[in-house]
């Protein structure tokens, strides 16, 4: 029996700014993903179910390595 469920999809995005653009591996997740995985941010916040509805503002969670 499941107590929580979330979805993940592999993706990539172009990072631009200074110099040449670079393809960055990324994932798209549904709200609650980080909670289901037991992961907490060092700074800021993660994605929540309040970020799921169509029309909600986009949220980005950056890795420490990036």
Domain ranges of the chain: 1-66
Label residue 21 by pLDDT band (50, 70, 90).
very high
User: 7 with 29: CB under 8 angstroms?
Assistant: yes
User: 58 with 42: CB under 8 angstroms?
Assistant: no
Q: pLDDT digit string (tens) for 27-62?
A: 999 998 999 999 999 999 999 999 999 999 999 999
- What is the reported pLDDT for 3? 85
- What is the reported pLDDT for 61? 94
Please give the structure tokens belonging to residue 52: 């799921």
Q: pLDDT digit string (tens) for 1-19?
A: 888 889 999 999 999 998 9
User: 8 with 29: CB under 8 angstroms?
Assistant: yes
- What is the reported pLDDT for 26? 94
């Amino acid at each position: 029996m499941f107590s929580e469920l979330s979805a993940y999809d592999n993706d990539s995005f172009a990072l631009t700014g200074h110099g040449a653009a670079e393809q960055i591996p990324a994932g798209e997740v549904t709200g609650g993903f980080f909670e289901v995985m037991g992961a907490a941010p060092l700074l800021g916040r993660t994605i929540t179910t309040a970020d799921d509805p169509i029309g909600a503002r986009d949220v980005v969670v950056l890795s420490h390595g990036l």
